[in-house]
Amino acid sequence: MAGVDVGGGGKGKRRSLDSEINMIPFIDLLMVTISFLLITAVWSHMSRINADAQVPGPPRPDQEQEKVEPEKILHVEMRSPEKFTLVWKQGAQVVNSIEVPRKDDMKIEKGKKMIRYPDLAAKIQEEWKNNHNHFDASDRKLDQAVLHTDNETAYVYIIGVIDAIYDTHRKVTLPSGKTDDVPAFNVTFAVN
C-alpha cells in the first residue's frame, strides 16, 4: 500500500486528510491505459505529394486582360528508359534542354517498391538555380514543372520523379511572418 498526502492537518480531532490508494488497481489501470494506447497507435504515418492541375479560371469579359510574358516552365520527360530530358520552355520557345542518365535502382522490401533518382534531383536543383522565375522569399509563387510520361509507366516511377522534383527547396515568407523551406516547384502532368 502507498500513501498520498494531500496536505491539510490542523488542530482538533478532524479526519485525516491523508488517504491511501491501493497500488494494485492503480498499476492495473496504468497497464490497461498503456495497452489501449499501444493497440490504437498508428505507427505508419501517411503523407501526400501535391500536384496541381493547371485549370484556367472562367473568362472575365469585364476585366481587361494584361499582356503577361509567359514564365519559364520546366518540362521533365521520362518517356525514355535510358534518360530524363529536362527542357525549359518559355511559351513555345525552348530556352534550354539537357539530358540526365536514368538509373532505375528499384529497391523492394516486403513487396513495397521504392525508387529514388538522386542524380535527377541534383540536376533539377542546378537547373532551377540557373533558370528560376521565383526566388525571393517574399514571392510566394512557385515555379512550374510539367511531367511527361508514357501511358505504360508504373505509378511508383512517377512518384520517384515527382519526389526528385520536390527535392529542390527555397525559402518563402509565410503570411504569419515566419520563413519556411518549401519545394521550389509545383508539379503538374502533361496530358499528351
Partner 1 sequence: MPIAQPGRRLMHFVTLDFVKKRATGHGRRSPNANLSLTSMIDFLIVVVVFLLMTFSASGETPPNKGLILPQAENTLDMIDAPMVSINGSQILVNGNAAGNTHAIEDNKRLQRIDELFNILKGKREVWKQLHPGKDFPGVVVLQVDQDVPAVVVKSTFQTAAFAGYPNVSFMVNQLPKAGH
**Window 84 to 143, contacts with partner 1 (CB under 8 A):** 111-116
CB atoms within 10 A of CB 172: 20
Rounded CA separation 192/189 (Å): 9
The region that residue 91 occupies, defined by phi over 0 for left and psi between -120 and 50 for alpha, beta otherwise, is left
Of 5, 19, 23, 95, the one binding partner 1 by CB under 8 A: 23
Distance CA 44, CA 84 (A): 32
Q: Which of 16/192 has CB closer to partner 1?
A: 192
Residue 28's region, left for phi above 0, alpha for psi from -120 to 50, else beta, is alpha
Q: Does 22 bind partner 1 (CB under 8 A)?
A: no
Residues between 152 and 191 with contacts to partner 1, criterion CB under 8 A: 152-156, 158-160, 162-163, 166-167, 183, 189, 191
Is residue 16 close enough to count as binding partner 1 by CB under 8 A? no
Binding residues for partner 1 (CB under 8 A): 2, 23, 26-27, 30-31, 33-34, 37-38, 40-42, 44-55, 111-116, 149-156, 158-160, 162-163, 166-167, 183, 189, 191
